[in-house]
Amino acid sequence: ATAAQGTQRKARAKGVDYDVIVLGGGFAGVTAARDSMKNGYKTLLLEARDRLGGRTWTKQFAGHHVEMGGTWIHWTQPFVWSEVQRYKLEVEETPDGTIDPGAELRVLVEGRCEVLTRTEQLMPVLGAINKYFADVGQYWERPYDAAFQWNDLLKADKLSAAQVIEKMQLTPVQRVAVEAYAAGLSHAPMEHVSYLENNRWWALPGSSMTALHDSCGRYRFKHGTVNLINSMVEDGKPEIRLSSPVKSVEDKGDHVIVTTANGERVTASAVIVGLPMNVVQNVQFSPALDPLVAEAGREKHAGTGIKLLIRVKGQLAKTRVSTVAAETHPLPFIATYSQAADHTILVMFGPNPKLIDYTDKAAVQKALRDYFPDAEVEAVDHHPWTDDPYARGTWCNYKPGWFVKYYDHFQKDRGNVFFGQGDHGEGWRGFIDGAIGAGGAAAQRVKTKLG
Ligand SMILES: Cc1cc2nc3c(=O)[nH]c(=O)nc-3n(C[C@H](O)[C@H](O)[C@H](O)COP(=O)(O)OP(=O)(O)OC[C@H]3O[C@@H](n4cnc5c(N)ncnc54)[C@H](O)[C@@H]3O)c2cc1C
């Protein structure tokens, strides 16, 4: 991303360096910084890494540009889609990523690989997945308004995916598919998967499997998520300091002092926090963070899995193909990411990044051969998001019991410190869309405060 011209502007209040300082340069922070500049404020964005984008990262892998983190977007996601329209960004389709009639589904079950191709083989699996989500209307008639059915949410808050699936009458094949599906949405082991969170995803695009797959696995930025990050930066031109991890934030009442680990000290009238839920407590806030916000960060949201990119020789099947297995298998959910004449890029989502050494091509090939006996793995890559000190997790999903425990404590502004974190909020929380929404809303609240 380009650095900027924010320095040319003067802060409005006397005695401060900036009107607004934004912490974190993911989609939430970049949106907040762009909007603050557009609102007329001298704005500084402080980012710990040497790049912007946070949990999105467009990178080269085995001859393709790929996304190591957040990837798919859709027009049912209002904030990101308005950016796509605003900057006229191109999107491209993913060749696969769906389990629907017409595709081939390989299921590892009871030590064998079942290949489901015909509609009558696939329908019972799709039916079971539909059944898993059958209660959605009871909880999420309005997925942007948790308060609307709050009492119903509280009743189901403690339910894990594992508990719900346990009570369903399923064939072994159906069970594997439903479990892989629930764990795939949450990027977490089954007992950490909140049934309510799974249902929220189902409700958001319109409570159908086609709509869910289209919104979470079909369309992506043709020139990468970095294309939108760069468009926002060029548009807003905030001042940006990379490699500047924030250490402390002190609200003095009429100004806020921000100190970085490099020892820089900058002041502003307002601060917008765009940090991930799982690391926000590493910054020392004065006054202190709400203890429950810090506790949630230490406990960590459910998203702790791995997204692995695998380049394999040739094509694995004649049709579109996806695979599912139990969560104890190293590769429990695979779809096609890109195709070329002589190779295929697969994307794999699993709940446990430590199950095998995912940097080891041979280990990945061995596991892949459970589905495709002749598969030849040419390259693998992933980013260890859960070990990454500036993320400590993948996409945000609440654990069972979190609505009761934490919901009322998230996203509460305090004094001159405003919380615009993509891991919080209503609707597509935990997505690129939710981050843009949260950052934009925080910038708007700052505008109301500063005038
Ligand atoms: C593997 C994976 C797959 C995903 N798939 C999708 C998908 O397909 N579609 C989708 O919409 N979403 C997806 N997501 C989720 C999406 O990427 C995130 O929800 C979104 O990018 C979060 O944006 P954010 O700005 O809230 O947080 P982040 O992107 O994490 O940004 C926070 C920033 O704060 C910085 N930071 C942390 N600590 C400090 C500090 N002390 N000082 C300064 N800066 C700091 C971080 O370096 C980071 O840049 C996926 C995420 C992952 C990891």
Pick left, alpha or beta for residue 253 (phi over 0 → left; psi -120 to 50 → alpha; otherwise beta): left
* 28 in contact with ligand 1, CB cutoff 6 A: yes
Average pLDDT over residues 207-215: 90
pLDDT digits (tens, 9 = 90+) for 160-187: 999 999 999 999 999 999 999 899 899 9
Q: What is the pLDDT of residue 357?
A: 98
pLDDT digits (tens, 9 = 90+) for 90-111: 999 987 645 555 678 999 999 9
Average pLDDT over residues 189-211: 94
Mutate to test the pocket of ligand 1, among 46, 55, 309, 358 (most ligand atoms within 8 A of CB): 55
Determine the 3-state secondary structure of 350 from DSSP.
strand
* 31 in contact with ligand 1, CB cutoff 6 A: no
Is residue 4 predicted with pLDDT exceeding 90?
Answer: no
| Architecture of the domain spanning 122-209 | Alpha-Beta Complex (3.90)
Residue span(s) of the chain under CATH 3.90.660.10 come to: 122-209
Residues composing the chain: 451
* 385 in contact with ligand 1, CB cutoff 6 A: yes
Q: 401 C-alpha vs ligand 1 centroid, how far in Å?
A: 23
CB-based contact 345:381 (threshold 8 Å):
no
Residue span(s) of the chain under CATH 3.50.50.60 come to: 6-55+224-301+396-450
Which residue, by CA, sits nearest to atom 48 of ligand 1? 54
DSSP state string for 119-186: HHHHHHHHHHHHHHTTTHHHH-SSTT-GGGGHHHHHHHTT-BHHHHHHHS---HHHHHHHHHHHHHHH
Q: What is the 3-class SS of 205-259, one letter each residue?
A: CCCCHHHHHHHHHCEEECCCHHHHHHHHHHHHCCEEECCCCEEEEEECCCCEEEE
Q: Which residues of 351-367 are buried (b: 16+ CB within 10 A; e: fewer)?
A: bbbebbebeebebbbeb
Q: What is the pLDDT of residue 135?
A: 87
* 422 in contact with ligand 1, CB cutoff 6 A: yes
Percent of the chain with pLDDT over 90: 88
Which residue, by CA, sits nearest to atom 20 of ligand 1? 432
Q: What is the pLDDT of residue 2?
A: 42
How confident is residue 1, by pLDDT bands cut at 50, 70 and 90? Answer: very low
Mutate to test the pocket of ligand 1, among 395, 421, 423, 436 (most ligand atoms within 8 A of CB): 395
| Architecture of the domain spanning 6-55+224-301+396-450 | 3-Layer(bba) Sandwich (3.50)
* 304 in contact with ligand 1, CB cutoff 6 A: no
Residues 444 and 451: their CA atoms lie apart, in Å, by 10
Query: Which ligand 1 atom sits nearest the alpha carbon of residue 28?
Result: 25
End-to-end CA distance of the chain: 29
Q: 276 C-alpha vs ligand 1 centroid, how far in Å?
A: 7
pLDDT digits (tens, 9 = 90+) for 34-66: 999 999 999 999 999 999 999 999 999 998 999
Mutate to test the pocket of ligand 1, among 259, 390, 392 (most ligand atoms within 8 A of CB): 390
Tokens representing 346 are 């697969």
Average pLDDT over residues 222-238: 98
Torsion of CA 418, 423, 427, 431, to 10 degrees: 120
CB-based contact 324:108 (threshold 8 Å):
yes
Q: What is the pLDDT of residue 210?
A: 87
Tell me the average pLDDT of the chain. Answer: 94
Q: What is the pLDDT of residue 111?
A: 92
Task: Give the residue carrying structure tokens 């030590």.
Answer: 111
Bridge partners of residue 267, in order along the sequence: 257
Higher-pLDDT residue of 83 and 2 is 83
Task: Give the residue carrying structure tokens 């924010």.
Answer: 6
How confident is residue 274, by pLDDT bands cut at 50, 70 and 90? Answer: very high
How confident is residue 442, by pLDDT bands cut at 50, 70 and 90? Answer: very high
pLDDT digits (tens, 9 = 90+) for 352-388: 999 999 999 999 999 999 999 999 999 999 999 999 9
pLDDT digits (tens, 9 = 90+) for 394-411: 999 999 999 999 999 998
* 245 in contact with ligand 1, CB cutoff 6 A: yes
Q: 108 C-alpha vs ligand 1 centroid, how far in Å?
A: 32
The neighbour count for residue 404, using CB atoms within 10 Å, is 12
CB-based contact 44:239 (threshold 8 Å):
yes
Largest CA distance in the chain: 72
Distance of CA 288 to the CA centre of its chain: 27
How confident is residue 137, by pLDDT bands cut at 50, 70 and 90? Answer: confident
Is residue 5 predicted with pLDDT exceeding 80?
Answer: no
Query: Which ligand 1 atom sits nearest the alpha carbon of residue 282?
Result: 41
Q: 396 C-alpha vs ligand 1 centroid, how far in Å?
A: 9
